[in-house]
A and B are shown apart, each in its own frame.
Chain A
Amino acid sequence: MSMQRREFLQLLAAAAAAGFALDSQELLASQGAEKFYDLPRFGNVSLFHFTDCHAQLLPTWYREPDANLGIGPASGHPPHLVGEHLLRAFAIRPGTAEAYAFTCLDFAAAARTYGQVGGFAHLATLLRLLRANRPGALLLDGGDTWQGSATALWSRGQDMVGACQLLGVDIMTGHWEFTLGHQRVREIVDHDFAGNIEFLARNIKTADFGDPVFTPYTLREIGGTRVAVIGQAFPYTPIANPRYLIPDWTFGIQEEEMQIQVDEARAKGAAVVVLLSHNGMDVDLKMAARVSGIDAILGGHTHDGVPAPTLVKNRGGQTLVINSGSHGKFLSVLDLDVRAGAIQGYRYKLLPVFARLLPADPAMAAYIEQVRAPYRARLEEPLAVSEGLLYRRGNFNGSWDQLILDALLEVKGADIAFSPGFRWGTTILPGQTITMEQLLEQTAISYPYTTLSEMSGATIKALLEDLADNLFNPDPYYQQGGDMVRVGGMTYTCAPGARIGSRIRDLRLAGRPMSADKIYKVAGWAPVAEGATGTPIWEVMADYLRDRKTIAPRRLNLPTLIGMEHNPGMV
């Protein structure tokens, strides 16, 4: 019995003693789930990667999408496989713990059986297990770490800074981090992170002279092997999020310079070159085909939990493209066998973090307890009971967003409501009480204003076309990685495979065709323009929920789709 397995069994015993539901542990064990964590070491260089945890310090629920359409050549390939299509492609048996982790299938029932996922204290335990036989392994954080919870918003990311230091993160890059404003990012990177966590972002430059703002890449030694890690922040941060929060910085994909930096790292003796990316998986795949010399891309942003790497061929050989899911639900383990200055083989596993199988690490649990203490009363305020499942993820709508749309329409007296296509936000099970903390897991941003504007039918159509193109443009470099704006009050038809200008059709309000010249009242939140004001979305929602006390299951307003009948990116 390996050291690791023995320790694991001890942990299981400890969990049982601590009163964890043993039936689900036995079920997990009977399916061999404990073997997820009994990962023999392979090779001599190991990398751990998590991404897009969105500040979820505690275990949570997170339902994967039922719609993640791939258009054109992306259709039918990871990450654009959902539900049974994903299970088939990766040979995962339905009804298992893995099926629960990777898909939306029977989510509420599976969630009750297999329990919550993620949580930094549980992740810390998993890392302790894996590090035991992987000396020198690096822990990479793909970003979207300092945003997504009440405590991250109220402490301006400080709770996550401390948690990542305790977890032993070595290197990170970012996206939502920048919505805390450039000064706050600088403060954390220059002071808190000095000497412990390296913040890499090769594609952020000063807007005036194009000087680098952050370190582009770093060279580390793992067991005598030189490993280069290059950081790529989300290329479209100033477009998808408010530019005024980072007024002096410019971003972008910057592909040409990527090749130069990869070559430079090789010239400095790197036997392994890894890109820590917040591109989004479609952009990663295109970049892997066009830039040569990157051994692996460890990516995030689009929240795709993909069970196996995609091998992409390019001029220099091949690149493994890995995306590691979101919300602390998964940890990627990449083991490399590096000899004679080159990779001879690899093993990869995307490990679901089942909180019931991994007892909380005491030091991390104590830290989390301490950062939550000052806010506890506000966090735990019950607002309403949800009768149905509330989730966000999906290309066109989610029940949490539908609830927000319904509230905005009523509270603002609007004809139409828009809610942004964010992919972060946890899930509420039927019968669960929605607390202020859970409301903030859907809404905690630094530009939370609700708005009411007048828009012509023509403007609304142009807006929907523009946003649909950000999602469905067949060229990944023109995609921004969010989902489609959620729409309430009106209906439309969408042809994702069409060109911009002809995707959005048949716009109707109360069943009657909308008019291009007519003016409509449109409610929304999260405006990216400078100077916008309005009641924060969580205040509007908290009042609405307190007033209702019970939230009936939502009926989703979804567009009628054209040409997607056989797309395996939908169930």
Chain B
Amino acid sequence: MREFLLGLRLLFKAGRGNRIRFLLMAAGGSVGVCCLALVLTVPSILDAHDGRAAAREPRTSSAGASAAPLVLQRSDPYGAQPFTRVFVARGTDNGRPTPQAPPGMRELPRPGEVFVSPRVRDLLREQPGIKGRLPGRVAGTIGAAGLAHPDELFAYVGTTPDRIGDEGRVLEGFGYDYAPFPAVEPSTVTNLRFALGTLVLLPLVIFLSVCARLSAAGRARRLASLRLLGLSAKGTRRVNAAETVTAALIGALLGLGEYWLLNQVMSRTGLPSLRWYPQDGALTLTTTAVCLIGCPALAWLTGRAGGRDAAATPLAVRRTAVPKPPSKWGGLLLVTGLGIVSGYCATDLAGRPASNLGLNAPLVLAGVVLTGVGLVMTLPLISYSVARRVARSTKSLTLGLAMRRNEVEPGSTMRVVTGLVTLVFAASLAQGVLIQLEQVTRPSGPTQDYALPLSGISERQRHEVADVPGVRAAAMTMESWVDLESDSEAMVSQATALVATCDQLERLVRRSEGCVDGKVLRLTDPNSSQDPGVVPGATFPYRMEGPGTATGRQLDITLPSETIVFSAHNPSAVGSAALLVPPSMLRDGARPESARLVLTSGSDPDAVRSVLDGIGAVVPTVEIDPIGINIQGLRQISVIETLLALGMIMGLAIGAAAFVVSVTDRAVERRPQVTAVTLLGARARTMRTVQCVQVVVPLGIGLALALVLGKLAESCYLITAGGDVQWDLAGVPVLGAAAAGVVAVAALATLPLVGRRINPELIRRD
């Protein structure tokens, strides 16, 4: 405690420069704590979303009186968001109590009434096309308690039981313990928390370490003096830690205040795909405790570590001993990690990509982590070696001066750039994760198929749906009938028939050969497996219903040997079709019992949204299956993307703060030498160039390595994940441009650090 108080006394009595540094540490720490609080609050925000979504989930049963209230829930994509519509028919059973209204509503909607979320209300103004999905008049807005988040696309549509149809379920009430589709899967939240924590905490540790070493030379001399005067080694480290701990504590308090303000602002403005109510982002006791205890504790450790040299070898500090070259051990980590990562990349180049089964998954993770940590730990060594070689060989005075500086202080140089280098490495990896998630939730082909159960669609609606703008082709698929009650143990094959003309087929698939209109033809896609029972000569029954046919009438079709070879898009609504049936074979008005209407459009998100709006306007209660689109997955990806981007921005903010503080501190420490060289006649621009080069060269090397190694690590992950994309070269220009931008901004940031005016007082010490 005595040493701690001594440290505080030294802090406040050590002049203006020291106080400014203290304020800088507190301010930077507050930014870090604010970001940390946001990261820790993200799960609470997602929990609050899920809690409200669970509370409004309809509780249903299948059995009930015919006059019971019914409910039917539909969730279709609107861009990357689900647009959920709950159709409610209040029922006519007067003796039966009406179920309680869902949260955010006073009562259940009456037929013809539509209650919408604020976002849907805005959309109705901006894009009247979606009105078709909401039959009725807008009678009110759903309150916050009934919405997962302020931007949710949600509506209650009051209707009648006959309009709901057979798919309706009896409504018992609202509220479940768990949300049917969490905002982000719990396992993903854990990974996300880890990723965000790394993205924020790593730069924060670097920042605190930078702060702990600010004015390193002067501080070390002061500590060494105390040590020589009789302070114990432990006490000397405590004196140094006192300052960082106090700054961190004040920073933590400020940071929590900043977070409160940030929550108020961001809950109103929102982030792309992620909005919340202010109370969702309120600070919890745990978050407050972690920030108020964790941050000073971290500062205590870095502060103690900062005073280690002065405590251990005070004489060397007083005489400014020759710095040792950086340790080579970090290189081992890099070589090991890179070996693993390159090995997995090589499997793909050799045409036998490894999977993520067995030992591969932990090995890939270990390879990626070792590469990242190894990169950070090897950067000082690389910087030192490059600087040494360049300084010896260059004939340029500017480059020579800059490189000599980096040669003697590779550690401090790398502290300046580590945060930014780590960020670029992490950005590469995050991009890989997003590509992988994107691959499993959204088709990457040029077309988008949709499937609708034909049972809920009238003949007129069928034609209207086919005419929706953006729909390129419409056809029908029907399933052959299988008697599930049969006692026969033999496997019965089922054949999907595509009822379409050659022109429709052409539009629905990537390519086809051998089509002849008016004939039943066998369909074969060499890229997909086929039921072994679906062979030429086999006959399949298709049950029909509708006017002009008695229910139960059967259309038997024998598979011919004449074949159309086609290649379907991936994924496709017609990929499993085994035979092509000309529409003329179905009598007017005859409808297969088990059939789907299939449509295709362009895959551009706007086109998909417009087609879904159009279909919804014609058949609002029919379930639309957008083939290959996992709408809940897409929603989750949007949230994950937003959170990762947020983490990157926060990491960048802390990394940039560490960079600015560190570069400024170095420049301030170097002022006497710079003044001396300027007095010797060096031009201001020469000194600016030296300042700039000594930052830009290691930063450039670090970023280039981070980009290359990050891409290798990303490819290693993508290869073992087994998706279509293994080498994400598309992301290279973006990351390259971002890295070049960082270098350019860093270069510009160093320029004002060398002034034009010479102040001889800087080199006088009497």
Do A and B interact?
A: no
Q: Which residues does A use to contact B, with CB under 8 Å?
A: none
Q: Which residues does B use to contact A, with CB under 8 Å?
A: none
